[in-house]
Amino acid sequence: MAIITLTTDFGHKDHFAGAIKGTIYKELADARIVDISHSIAPFNIQECAYILKNSYKNFPDGSIHIVGVDSELSPENQHIAVLVDNHYFILANNGVIGLIISEIVPEKVVEIQLPNPIDSSFPEMDVFVKVASHIARGGKLEVIGRAFKDLKILREFNPRFSDDGRTISGSVIYIDNYGNVVTNIHRNKFKSFGKGRPFELLARNKKITQIHRKYGDIINYQLDKSQRKAPGELLALFNSSGYLEIAIYKSDLNTVGGASTLLGLDYRDTVMINFS
């Protein structure tokens, strides 16, 4: 039995996540369900895509991913099922899948068309679970939908590169549990555009001129402890997903704060890199 994952903006107070799981078990008594996250900020397409893009590859091929963010059906928000990179995604055509597969060509995309469709305010339970169960039983996508070619692509989430070769203008796409700020500037783009030149990373009124390999690299262990940098120091690195991250060493939003609070950075705020 394939694994079925859930990624939603439902939170943990309401009944929605539990209702979906119960409905899956009614369809598939031996289902294996994994919660990726139910804490996506409401309707935050970029955050949802970032979390899914960096988690789905850790699941076995054939896994089925139900995505419950901005899923209400409309003429411009179709329900789709996508087979890409040997994984199945069931979601609305709201831009999430376009961000996830920005560098991969999907093998199949269908617009979901179930018999006797329910016009529901809870499509994750009434539509997506039925599709996931069909796939988990070995069913083909062609049975539950027709070929679809109009995937929504959100270009505004890409960083901008100046024509003079000096500036990358990026934006905040995610803030993690520690308050670390993740931007949409990927390591590969930074290296190919910067070509090893000195740079200044500008975030609000702060300047950073060095990118570390990991958080602890900000500490010089050859110095006496009394002379070393301490928790609360600002740094930048490329995180495990390859994206430029602005962080506070050993940050804690409840004590020393995080990069988001200390710098006043929020989702979609601008971050600049100027090269010499």
- 153 assigned to some structural domain: no
The pLDDT tens digits along the chain (276 residues) read: 899 999 999 999 999 999 999 999 999 999 999 999 999 999 999 999 999 999 999 999 999 999 999 999 999 999 999 999 999 999 999 999 999 987 889 999 999 999 887 778 999 999 999 999 999 999 999 999 999 999 998 877 889 999 999 999 999 999 999 999 999 999 999 999 999 999 999 999 899 999 999 998 888 888 887 777 767 789 999 999 999 999 999 888 887 789 999 999 999 999 999 999
- 224 assigned to some structural domain: yes
- 155 assigned to some structural domain: no
Do 51 and 178 belong together in one domain?
no
- 229 assigned to some structural domain: yes
Do 169 and 134 belong together in one domain?
no
Phi first, then psi, for residue 68 (nearest 5°) are: -110, 70
CA distances from 148 to 76, 109, 113 (A): 13, 6, 11
Do 140 and 164 belong together in one domain?
no
Is there a contact between 182 and 176 (Cβ–Cβ < 8 Å)? yes
Q: How far apart are CA 66 and CA 177, in angstroms?
A: 23
- 154 assigned to some structural domain: no
Do 9 and 50 belong together in one domain?
yes
Choosing from 147, 168, 199, the residue where a domain stops is 147
pTM (predicted TM-score): 0.89
How do strand 87-92 and strand 79-84 relate by DSSP bridges?
Answer: antiparallel
Do 190 and 235 belong together in one domain?
yes
Taking the alpha carbons of 83, 186, 262, 215 in that order, is the dihedral positive or negative?
positive
Do 204 and 132 belong together in one domain?
no
Do 133 and 86 belong together in one domain?
yes
Number of domains into which the chain is organized? 2
CA distances from 231 to 1, 30, 103, 183, 206 (A): 46, 46, 37, 22, 17
Choosing from 104, 125, 147, the residue where a domain stops is 147
CATH of the domain at 236: 2.40.30.90
Domain with 46, as residue range(s), is 3-147
